[in-house]
Structure 1
Amino acid sequence: MSHLLTGFFIETVFSLQTALDLSAPATDAILINRKNAWIQLAGHPGSFAPAGPHTIWKKRMAKENYELKAYQSLMDSPTTQDIIPEFHREVEHNGEYFIEIEDLLQHFKDPNIMDIKMGKRTFLESEVKNPVLRKDLYQKMIDLNPNAPTEEERKQEAITKLRYMQFREEGSSTATLGFRIEAVKKSGEAPITSLKKIKHKSQVKKACVNFLLIEHCMVLPWGILVLKGQKKVEKTHLIPMLLQIIGSSLLIMYDESGHCGVWLIDFAKTIPVENGMILYHNLPWLLGNHEDGFLSGLDNLIDVRIFCHSCK
């Protein structure tokens, strides 16, 4: 699971209090003892490892540790500190660097999990600034959809990386709704990772209804979000206006005992904008303005208006 979960601007669903023994290293014994309970639905394989009894390590994937800085910033903000995994420290181990954060799985027993990738783009502007036309990306495009290239692109038999990345976003609900369902795991079942290709709101709603279909009515985070979130919280205070939020997820979990929660996670591409530029997180993106569409996706996610079947 992208597992560092994901959270919203909603009021805290329940209090997460975790005691951590910072002297406890990640050992093979801990890994063995916890491997059967370990779940990773999305993200780079091998990025996560159990650490202490209640924490995980997440590997730094880039030279610049934007995720560390993002956690430090979000933990210092009263509007976000309760909706992200608790951050503990940065760790150096065998020449590699990790951040140690709260293991949210500890609060659940065989939970139902949904990972939702937020925003209208999942790539950084720095990744797509190169205007060079590439034949390899054109080939990848036609392998996925032979009808996708324009007439001009067919003549050139090449496209830019920006064109390819936008084409990939258009293959899911990312481009239209500002979010996509990255993965789902129902209790006792194997993970489903094929939902990221669904595009239309009706398809998304069907997937969400299936995820939230339970025998006993519970106060699920989705219902709380719809009822309280947009009305009681000024959204522009939720997401820092000096940070672009790219590739972050909302992780929703609940189990049969009635525990449920939503957290905001994954900040490897959450980076400051240059020269104090202000972001609104809901404006159309143009190369250079750094807008990410996070709040646009949040509005559309709320608009899906999912409740458990007996709470309509």
Structure 2
Amino acid sequence: MFASNIGMVGLGLRREMLDDFIESPPNQVDFLEVAPENWLKMGGKFGKQFKQLTDEHTFICHGLSLSLGSPEPLDTEFVKSLKSFFKTHNIKLYSEHLSYCSGSGHMYDLMPIPFTEDAIKHVADRIKQVQDILEQRIAVENVSYYAAPGQEMSEQEFTLEVLKKADCDLLLDVNNIYVNSVNHGYDAAEFLKAMPSERVVYGHVAGHYEESTSLLVDTHGANVCDPVWDLLAKAYEYHGLFPTLLERDFNIPSMTEVLSEVDTIKRLQSEFLAKSKGVA
């Protein structure tokens, strides 16, 4: 099982990074994360490189298309294929978005689940079904959203109820909390503090695009900004250390620049440890 409550730093592995990791895997990266959909049927050179990496390093998976909030039946054959993939590559943990991306067709985007009582039951039941098939717990990620159709409660209340009723874990995305706090006018620190520490198995940080002072777009295409770093430091204060991963999906810079942000996560974790031990 993937260890929580410890200082580990991860990186989202993209295909553009494969050669770098094969030739010279960076020592400061403790684990790697991939979207299983991008690798399930991968063969040839990329498939061989990927198997080499999963044999030599710790990997987790963060899904894109499970569509937990969809009104359509769960794609159980897809979940079974995930189970086989996880076994082949010794995947330590699986997480998905608390959202949906399909209805009568696939929308290729992460849509917000209505914050309603009916949606809580629907999503919790689907998470339980996934966990039963996989025979393991999964983590769900608090997502960025830009509209809240049919809202009956706050995002915070909805997230807490889903976690409780599904009895699943939480992937705590610090950037998404910050983005949503600006877009929807809530206190990011208060939301962060309300999350259940015992369910946090790992976290994400990423960059976003500032459309205006009141509209941020979660792109994973820029450097992490100072307010998000500050919020990550608060997350450790509230919940203790947890493995934390840097996401970078677009405008991927040099590996040196990517690793400088990995080093920032490491520094924040070290500062938290020193503070908790009373070291000046």
**TM-score bucket of the superposed structures, by smaller chain:** under 0.3
TM-score by length of structure 1 reads 0.23
Higher helix proportion (structure 1 or 2):
2
Larger Rg: 1
